[in-house]
Chain A
């Protein structure tokens, strides 16, 4: 591949590494990498992969930037709040390296779109923030035989591994060789509940980028069939050897048709809450009298909602700032349905059964997609 002088200059300090060289640079330029989740892990991995000159990077995330993301999701700034993460991450990466191609998917990875999307890439990076998508990505990578660079964090600790790739002819382990079945809902706290040190996903995401570059160029010894954990509080590293288990394959859908029938949310115990209503029920209710609809997002969050009457009380003040109202039905909504469910629980605690309290499942983002 031809290198013009500015492209040589950009990558000179890594081309100087004899293990990497011009051949390594060419391999990165020809590579297609998909990053699932543009959160804390994804931001760190994306930054280094774009800087290193990965030829094509795909980013899939359905979420939008919020203020509480900024302590760890370092590709975003204040002006990105309310905008799609994948779009805004791509903008930041294009400023960093205009020579590479970035493909943006502002949508959730589902059983319907996963196989077609993942098939178009050489390697997948798992930067997701929930078990449902982690198992979905893992199973799709097994079906498609794609290397998966896994990362996960909680509080002060992180895990990184390379799944579905062995490099030495040994059977390749995947996530289900580590944890065969998803935990039940509520068994393991997520970042929103347990908190996370901002720099931690930065460290782990950078490790994911490093493993990706090693796999693509063939340098060094990868984390294939190994998992490492890192604890930022005491700097302890722990390494676990992974072995592909005979039974694991039985847990994974046998083919594309079986995969598309999988209910990963259900598997992870994500059942609809009795306080939640779907879009149809919401649309039927929202034209009725004696109804109050409340947006519980922060005041500056987008998209705006001109489609129906509502008032605005951010979640933090939902109990204290709740207005005097005659309404017997109260519906709360937020971006994706998590904060509004919290608000609905708080209001149910306040009003008991005196009023009908409901939360719009999937939030205003998925409502807008259907309207």
Chain B
């Protein structure tokens, strides 16, 4: 199963792309684990996970139709 993830801010810089696809993740917890292994720089950032434009605070089941986004906080003004 492929899940498309869109990345914002520093997360896109770390991945070198504004979207990535990860395989075989059943939920958001597994997704975060996989992403943090693929891109160790991301593990240091406290980003939020959104599924279909809603924040996923707890482990949320994923299917191929879900749009996942990872957003870091921005501080600049």
Contact = CB atoms under 8 A, between A and B. Distances in A.
Contact of B55 (A157, A178, A191, A231): A178
Nearest to A132: B75
Contacts of A179: 46, 48, 73
A244 to B, nearest CB: 11
Size class of the B contact interface (CB-based, 8 Å): 20 to 34
Given A229-B71, A234-B18, A243-B55, A187 B76 contact: no
B73 A152 contact: yes
Chain A contact residues: over half helix, strand or loop, or mixed?
A: mixed
B45 interface: yes
A175 to B, nearest CB: 9
Nearest to B77: A129
Interface string B1-13: 0000010111001
Given A154-B10, A238-B69, A242-B55, A188 B74 contact: yes
A201 interface: yes
Contacts of A157: 8-9, 74
A184 B72 CA distance: 12
Interface of B: 6, 8-10, 13, 18, 44-46, 48, 50, 53-55, 57, 69, 71-77
A58 interface: no
A236 B9 CA distance: 13
A61 to B, nearest CB: 10
A104 B74 CA distance: 26
Contacts of B8: 157, 229, 231, 238
Contacts of B53: 238-241
Given A240-B55, A242-B55, A188 B71 contact: no
Contacts, number: 95
Contact of B73 (A188, A191, A201): A188
Nearest to A236: B18
A190 B76 contact: yes
A155 B77 contact: no
A201 B76 contact: yes
Given A179-B46, A181-B46, A152 B54 contact: no
26 contacts: A41-B77, A127-B77, A128-B77, A130-B75, A152-B73, A152-B75, A153-B74, A154-B10, A154-B76, A158-B74, A177-B55, A178-B55, A183-B45, A183-B46, A183-B72, A183-B73, A187-B44, A188-B73, A191-B76, A191-B77, A201-B76, A229-B8, A229-B71, A231-B8, A240-B53, A241-B54
Interface in A99-132: 126-131
